[in-house]
Structure formats: structure tokens, C-alpha cells
Amino acid sequence: MAPQQRPPHSRRTAEGEPQLSLRTRLALVFVAATLIPLGATLWLASILLDQSLRLGPSTQLTSLASSLETTGREYYRQACEQLRSDAHTGRIRPVVLAKTPELQHLSDEFRASEEAERFERVGGNLVYLEGRNVWQTPLPVNLAQLAGQIALARDTASHDLRRGLFGAWWLLAALIWFFALGLVWWVATRFTRPIVNLTAAMRALAAGNFRIRVEHTQSGEIGSATDAFNHTAAELETNRDRLVYLTQLASWQVLARKMAHEVKNSLTPIRLTVEEMVARHDEPNEDDRRAFLTQAAGIVTDEIESLERRIRAFSEFSSEPPVCLEQLDLPALVEERIAFLRAAHPEVGYAVQTAANTPSALADEDLVKGILVNLLENAADAAGAGGQILTKVAAVRSSDGADKVAIEVHDSGPGLSDLARKSLFQPTISFKQRGMGLGLSIARKSALLSGGDILLIAGELGGAGFRVLLPTGEHGLTPHSGR
């Protein structure tokens, strides 16, 4: 079972634009569908609460505080007028300042201020200062205490019931809305997670992962869809395995028919030659019999060698030797292989072009030598007597953007037909008279094992052209290796 992945909040489309997940879209629909009604409800409820609380105790307390403040100010004004009148008419006598140090200090401060008159509250008395005289009279009402009570009433009114109720009402509404949003997000997550997992599994299945399965614990339509997907994936995996097996079996059948045909082609002349040897065993002419036996032995030897070559080719195609990577000087390696080839094909002309600053290659030397021998042999056979072979070594940039070292082999032969181009690297298909159809297949497998490849390119001499790509020693790819 493949583990479930936590669904992402958003995905990207094939064009690269971000796409919101179903869960996020459900949450946004909830926000859009509830914010406007919630705002209207809070606004209307606030108006109704304000109207219903305007006649509440807080309003009365504010009015009472204002009335007390007005009364206190009027009382203080009248007391000041009465004290001034009593002082001017002589109904009360001035205070002896020597006996009252507190009033003496107040009188000195008053004279220094050059004011005409002043009224002060000292303790529970009202004091009147004019010139050098000071009068005082007791106040029946404690104005300081009254002022404190008025201030307390105003402070209480500023934190009235309406303001506290409105704050509590808005806070409660916000908490309820956020709780509902969290609930919607949780429900959307539980609802969309199986769909997201199923979609991701479908993408993996479309990419070729037939072992993908989706775990689920839900019932209903989503559970049925998940079961159907798991069943389909299991069927596809089974059919894929069967198809792979049948394809491999068909490939081995083709190889078996090819091998049987090649062996039969060699055994037939051997059998006919042996039968002819038996028929001529009693031939009287000793010279003729010796000449025939020599010819027959040559035929048998040639066919046995042909059988050995066929068996060796199949053996090389089926094996994967260990890959030993090392830094290779490709121009020197190409010159070495061409030197060996000149002895076998002296009738062919050779030319080598090496670009400046060609980097070394990171590959298996034996595999590269085998590739070069195969390509150069094919080129020599195609060029024929008087033909030309051009070999080029240079650094190139592959289609995937990686730095490579390329070896190109061009010949002046007749070139390749369209049929040959389509099936050039397929095993057991050969367009040479004595070919097994495995040389280019083995060469390309060797290039792939070294982290490179072999490509068919346009020939520069009128015939075929091949390009061997190998990783550079500085930025070599990690090749596949096997035994």
C-alpha cells in the first residue's frame, strides 16, 4: 500500500498558475456567504441595543452628575457673594492673621499676586481676601466631597452598561463566527482529503505506477469510488505484468527462432559435406579423394567457426560486465583503434579531426573500445575499397543541457534505407550479408552503461553517420552498472 500524502492547500495547473484546493474554496464560500449577513445582523442588533439602553441607569446617572455639578457651582457662587457682602457691611470681622499662620501665608501670597480679591476654600471654611484683610465663614456643604462624588459618577457613566454590552456582543459574535469557520474547515478537510488522495493516485497511475493504492475508511460514493480505483489499479498491474511476460517471451521466441535458423544454416552444409565424404570414401583416385577431403574439412571448419561467432555474439548480448569508470583520452583511443583497423582494411582511407581543448571522458575503456571497433568495422564494410572514413572528436552540449564528449564516425558508403533507420538498434535485425544483428545493439548497450548513448546523424561523406555521446570527466553522469 502506498502511504497517503497530506493534501496541499493549493496546486498548480499545467500552465504554472496556482489553483486553490477544494477545501480552501469551500472555506472562501463560507466566508463570502456569512460576512455580509453577519455584518448586517451586528449593525441592526447594535442599533436596537443602543435604543433600548438609552433610558437605562447610566443615562440617569450622567444627568444626576451634571445636575449636582451645576448645583454645587451655584452654591459656591452664592456663598462667595454672601461672604463679600458680610465683609463689606461689617457683619463679620476680619481674621487676626497672627493667630492663623495658614491664613497669614495665604494673605502674603495674595498680596504678592496683586489681585483685587480672591476666594479660597480652606478646610470646611470659605476665605475671602481683599487688600490686607482676610475674612472666613464656614461652609455647610463639603464641596470637595461633592466634587469627588460628581467625578466618580461621571467615571461610572463613561463605563456604562451600553459600552460593556456592545463590546461583549461583538466579541461573542466574532468568537462564534471563527468557531463556525474552523468547523467548516475541519468538515471540508474530512470531505476533500479522500478526493485529493484519489486524484493524486490517479495521476500516479497515469504516470505508470500501477502499484498505487488508496487507503480509506469512508463509505458512500467516495468509498465506492476508492474501491473501484483500487480494483482498476490491481487489474492494470496484473495485465501489465502479463503483458511484460508475454513481451519477454515473444522476444526470447524471436531470439530462439533466429538462433535455430542460424544453427540450421551452418549444420546443413556440415551434414551435406559429411554425407558426401561417406559417399566418396571408396573413390579409387587418391588425389581426387585427398583434394575433396581438404575442401570438405575447410567447409566444416568454416561452418564451425561461424557457429562459434553466432554463439559468442548471443553470449555478449545477454551479459552485462561490470563497469569500471576511468578518465579516458578519447583522441588517443580513437587513433589506436584506427591503427588496428588499417591493417585489416588497408583499402580504406581514414581521417581524424579532433577539436581543441577536448575534455576527457568518464567511461569504461573496454566498453568504449568495443563501441569504436563495431562502428569502425561497419564503416569500413560500408565504404569498401577506395572508400573514406572520417572520425571526429569534440565537446558538445546534449539535448538535456549536459556537457558531453562526442565521437562521430562517418563513411562514404551507400547510406541507410528508411527501414534500416527505423530498426537500426534492434537486436537480431541485420542489414549485412554475414551480420547477426547484434553489433549495434551491443554497442548502444555499452554506451548506455557508460552513461551515454549512440545516435544516428546525417553522414558528412554521403553515407551513414553515428555519434557516440559520453559524459565528461569533469561533469560525468553516474552510469548504470551491472554484472
Residue 357 has pLDDT above 50, yes or no: yes
- Each residue's pLDDT tens digit, 229-263: 888 888 888 777 777 756 765 666 666 666 665 56
Cell for 128? 475671602
**Nearest to 415, CA basis, from 460, 468, 455:** 460
Nearest Cα neighbor of 119 from 73, 151, 150 is: 73
Q: Give the H/E segment covering residue 144.
A: helix 143-158
The predicted pLDDT at position 350 comes to 93
Question: Which range (249-253, 281-285, 329-333, 459-463) has the least confidence?
Answer: 249-253
Q: For 95-130, write each residue's pLDDT tens digit.
A: 877 677 778 888 888 888 888 888 888 877 888 888
103 within 8 A of 134, measured Cβ to Cβ: yes
Give the CATH number of domain 325-471: 3.30.565.10
N-to-C CA span, the chain: 31
Record the pTM. Answer: 0.41
Looking at residue 473, the DSSP 8-state letter turns out to be: S
Average pLDDT over residues 426-431: 56
User: Higher model confidence: residue 146 or residue 18?
Assistant: 146
More confident residue, 140 or 328: 328
Q: What's the confidence (pLDDT) of residue 439?
A: 75
Looking at 207-347, list the stretches that DSSP marks H as alpha helix, in order from N- to C-terminal side. 220-279, 286-318, 330-344
Tell me how many degrees the CA angle 286-291-296 measures, rounded to the nearest 5. 125
What is the DSSP secondary structure assignment for residue 433, as one 8-state letter? T
Tens-place pLDDT, residues 46-85 = 676 665 555 455 566 667 777 777 887 888 888 888 888 8
456 touches 363 (CB < 8 A):
no
Higher pLDDT: 266 or 24? It is 24
Max Cα–Cα distance, the chain, nearest Å: 190
Mention every residue, 6+ apart, whose C-beta is less than 8 A from residue 289: 280, 283
Closest CA to 466 of 397, 386, 372: 372
- The residues facing 336 across adjacent strands are none
pLDDT (average), residues 380-408: 89
User: Could you report the per-residue pLDDT of 218-228, keeping only the tens digit for each?
Assistant: 667 777 778 88
Q: Say yes or no to pLDDT of 3 above 50.
A: no
Calculate mean pLDDT across residues 127-136.
86
406 three-state secondary structure: strand
13 vs 224, higher pLDDT: 224
